[in-house]
Amino acid sequence: MADAPLPPPGTTTDAFLFGLRTAATSVFAFVIIFTYIGFGAMCHDYGLSVGWAMLSTVLQWAGPAQVILVTGLGPGTALIETAVAVSLSSVRFLPIVVALIPLVRRENARPWHLMLPVHFMAVSVWVEAMRHAPNMPREQRIPFCNGVGLALLSLGTIFTAVGYYMQAVLPALFGAAAMFITPISFLTSTARNARLLLEKAALALGLTIGPMLAYSQVQFDLLWTGVIGGTLAYGLHRVHRSRSAKA
Amino acid sequence: MSAELQSYLILIVVGFLPSEIWRWLGIVLGRGLDEQSEIILWVRGVATALVAAVVARIILIPPGALAGVPLSVRIAALAIGFLAFLFIRRSAFAGVLAGEAALIAGALAFGS
Give A118's contacts in chain B (Cβ within 8 Å): 23-24, 26-27
Q: Which of A93, A57, A136 is nearest to B28 (CA)?
A: A93
Interface of A with B in 28-87 (CB under 8 A): 30-31, 38, 42, 48-49, 52, 55-56, 59-60, 62, 64-69, 71-73, 79, 82-84, 86-87
* Pick from B52, B81, B82: nearest CA to A202: B52
Q: How far is residue A11's CA from residue A71's CA, in Å, rounded to a whole number?
A: 44
Q: How far apart are CA A167 and CA A116, in angstroms?
A: 31
| Cβ-based contacts under 8 A for chains A and B | 323
Are B69 and B111 in the same domain?
Answer: yes
- Residue from the list B26, B57, B63 with its beta carbon closest to the beta carbon of A222: B57
For residues B81 and B111, membership in a common domain is answered with yes
Based on the structure, what is the number of domains in chain B? Answer: 3
Task: Identify the domain containing residue B92 by its residue range.
Answer: 65-112
Walk along chain A (247 residues) and give the pLDDT tens digit of each residue. Answer: 444 444 446 788 999 999 999 999 999 999 999 999 999 999 999 999 999 999 999 999 999 999 999 998 877 778 999 999 999 999 999 999 999 999 998 877 777 778 889 999 999 999 999 999 999 998 899 999 999 999 999 999 999 999 999 999 999 899 999 999 999 999 999 999 998 899 999 999 999 999 999 889 888 899 999 999 999 999 999 999 898 888 7
ipTM value > 0.85? yes
Q: Examine the pLDDT at B102 and tell me if it is beyond 70.
A: yes
A residues 18..37 contacting B (CB < 8 A): 27, 30-31
Predicted local confidence at residue A9, as pLDDT? 61
- A chain contacts of residue B59, beta-carbon cutoff 8 Å: 183
Please check whether residues B69 and B57 belong to one and the same domain: no
Average of per-residue pLDDT values in chain B: 93
B104 and B73 housed in the same domain: yes
Q: Please report how many Cα atoms fall inside a 13 Å half-sphere around the Cα of residue A246, on the Cβ side.
A: 5
How far, in Å, CA of A52 to CA of A133, rounded? 34
Do residues B49 and B84 share a domain?
no
Residue A6's pLDDT is: 44
**Mean pLDDT of the B61-83 span:** 94
Q: Do A111 and B27 touch (CB under 8 A)?
A: yes
